[in-house]
Amino acid sequence: MLASMSDVVFHPPVEELVLTKVLAAFAEPARLAIVRAIARAGEPGVSCTQVQQDAGIEIGKSTMSHHQRVLRESGVTRTRIEGSRRMLTLRRTDLDRRFPGLLDAVLADSDAVTGARA
């Protein structure tokens, strides 16, 4: 069964994305910063540690791993395993198909561009 190597980790199908779950994933400040960092990185994707650098947050790696799982299981991010590291990308098209405009609205917040206030 060629379960398409990328499904070594669980990704919920588009139809099963739940709005409240996605919103909850975005609602956590650390996670929102992570999402923005992944968004800035764009298409090839970024590794967890790289994201942590870019997001400018100081948390243990176990916490980081936890947030990644929440983001992935809520359908916000996709995790592609590449060697020893996980490449993270946003599920832009999926999110936009399921909840049109939501991701853009969240990413567009002007306060966060400079990494400003809480």
Partner DNA sequence: GTTGCGGTTCGATTGACGTCGAACATTCCG
Partner DNA sequence: CGGAATGTTCGACGTCAATCGAACCGCAAC
**108 lies in the binding site for a copy of itself (CB under 8 A):** yes
Interaction residues for a copy of itself, span 30-49 (CB under 8 A)? 32
Binding segment toward a copy of itself, per CB under 8 A, in 3-11, 52-60, 85-93, 97-105: 97-105
65 and 73 in contact (C-beta within 8 Å)?
A: no
Instruction: Give me the least distance between CB of 116 and DNA, in Å please.
Output: 18
Q: At what angle do helices 19-27 and 29-41 cross, to 10 degrees?
A: 100
**73 lies in the binding site for DNA (CB under 7 A):** no
48 and 11 in contact (C-beta within 8 Å)?
A: no
* Distance in angstroms (rounded) separating the CA atoms of residues 16 and 14: 5
Report CA Rg, the chain: 14
**74 lies in the binding site for DNA (CB under 7 A):** no
Interaction residues for DNA, span 9-68 (CB under 7 A)? 9, 24, 28, 30-31, 47-50, 58-68
- H/E run at residue 89: strand 85-90
* Distance in angstroms (rounded) separating the CA atoms of residues 7 and 64: 20
The site for DNA (CB under 7 A) is made up of: 9, 24, 28, 30-31, 47-50, 58-70, 79, 83-86
The site for a copy of itself (CB under 8 A) is made up of: 18-20, 23-24, 26-29, 32, 99-102, 104-106, 108-109, 111-112, 117-118
